[in-house]
């Protein structure tokens, strides 16, 4: 009996709601908070058209979070003009996050003047992303004092990307103590690139235990440079299984040098299919030596069409005289530029 009453009550309520929507429209029946919540719900369900519909209804009523979320959604859909429209509305009203996002959009369009304008507004209000972003622009302009100023402000807020960037900047200035200081601070917060750079520095100091420690931490977070660096280290130690393990991780994650080095290890083991596979991947990613080695491999096994194809690519490197000579021989011509 209770179930029937509840079902009937729900049916009547739904009918009334539909009638109200038809008569008055969404704007009269729902308040902006309800519209925003519906947009949020559809966004969580990845129903973007419905999310945009409800966010827009709420945004047009002045709901700031709906306006911001519209900017984010349009940006994700690469609809820059709509993203700018909604971020601008908030940014001009002093919203710091919107100011930073607007700066990013202008930055991506290479409109540096506008990017600097919005980054500066947000940075002066303490936004660490904008402080980091404006520092990057200053560093590209070789305005090192301003870059250091803004990186430092963001880094002192605990922002590990700014710490890393500050470390890079000091490294470029050959201020190694300051570089290591900031890399260490970022590395202790779990920043993989900083951990890798610390590993490189300790390896240069021949402090192998510390180098391995930092490489491993970064490698386990997916940093391909550290994965490759571990591979290089284990090759030197003649620990080929460990070297191949780390090279394979880096290679599968797209590290071109690791792909080449993994192919070289397979070549030493006379594993031709794997050698070809990894040289091919590295060559297709533009590794010059891989292109040449692949050509040599096809020449060795008398696959002349493939050898000519890869020697032709290798010969485009002016310094690769051997590739040009091999190509002349295969084509039986001296007319190779």
pLDDT tens digits for 160-182? 999 999 999 999 999 999 999 99
C-alpha to C-alpha distance for 5 and 25, rounded to whole angstroms: 29
Q: What is the pTM of this model?
A: 0.81
What is the pLDDT at residue 337?
53
Residue 6 has pLDDT above 80, yes or no: no
Contacts of residue 264, Cβ cutoff 8 Å, sequence gap at least 6:
293
Under the banding of pLDDT at 50, 70 and 90, the label for residue 27 is low
What is the pLDDT at residue 336?
53
H or E element at residue 232: helix 224-236
What is the pLDDT at residue 8?
28
C-alpha to C-alpha distance for 75 and 72, rounded to whole angstroms: 5
CA distances from 31 to 53, 64, 88, 211, 248 (A): 14, 14, 24, 59, 56
Contacts of residue 123, Cβ cutoff 8 Å, sequence gap at least 6:
130, 131, 133, 134, 150, 153
CA distances from 63 to 18, 32, 95, 122 (A): 24, 6, 13, 21
CB 182 within 8 A of CB 155: yes
What is the pLDDT at residue 273?
96
Distance from the first to the final alpha carbon of the chain = 92
| pLDDT one-digit tens code per residue, 9-23 | 333 344 433 443 444
């Amino acid at each position: 009996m209770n179930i029937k009453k509840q079902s009937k009550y729900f049916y009547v309520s739904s009918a009334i709601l539909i009638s109200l929507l038809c008569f008055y429209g969404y704007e009269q029946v729902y308040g902006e908070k309800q519209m925003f919540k519906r947009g949020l719900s559809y966004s969580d369900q990845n129903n973007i058209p419905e999310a945009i519909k409800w966010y827009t209804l709420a945004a047009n009523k002045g709901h700031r979070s709906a306006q911001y979320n519209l900017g984010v959604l349009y940006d994700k859909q690469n609809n820059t003009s709509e993203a700018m429209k909604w971020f601008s509305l908030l940014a001009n009203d002093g919203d710091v996050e919107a100011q930073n996002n607007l700066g990013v959009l202008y930055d991506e369009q290479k409109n540096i003047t506008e990017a600097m304008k919005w980054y500066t507004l947000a940075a002066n209000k303490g936004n660490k992303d904008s402080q980091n972003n404006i520092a990057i622009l200053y560093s590209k302009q070789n305005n090192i004092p301003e870059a250091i100023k803004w990186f430092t402000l963001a880094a002192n807020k605990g922002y590990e990307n700014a710490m890393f960037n500050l470390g890079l900047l000091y490294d470029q200035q050959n201020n190694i103590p300051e570089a290591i200081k900031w890399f260490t601070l970022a590395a202790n917060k779990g920043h993989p690139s900083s951990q890798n750079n610390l590993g490189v520095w300790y390896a240069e100091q021949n402090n192998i235990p510390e180098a391995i420690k930092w490489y491993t931490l970064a490698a386990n977070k997916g940093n391909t440079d550290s994965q490759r660096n571990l591979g290089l280290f284990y090759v030197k130690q003649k620990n080929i299984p460990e070297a191949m393990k780390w090279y394979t991780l880096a290679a599968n994650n797209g590290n071109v040098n690791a792909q080449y080095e993994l192919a070289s290890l397979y070549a030493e083991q006379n594993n031709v299919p794997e050698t070809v596979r990894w040289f091919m991947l590295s060559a297709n990613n533009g590794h010059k030596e891989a292109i040449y080695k692949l050509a040599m491999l096809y020449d060795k096994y008398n696959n002349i069409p493939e050898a000519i194809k890869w020697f032709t690519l290798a010969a485009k490197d002016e310094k690769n005289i051997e590739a040009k000579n091999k190509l002349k021989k295969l084509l039986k011509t001296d007319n190779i530029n």
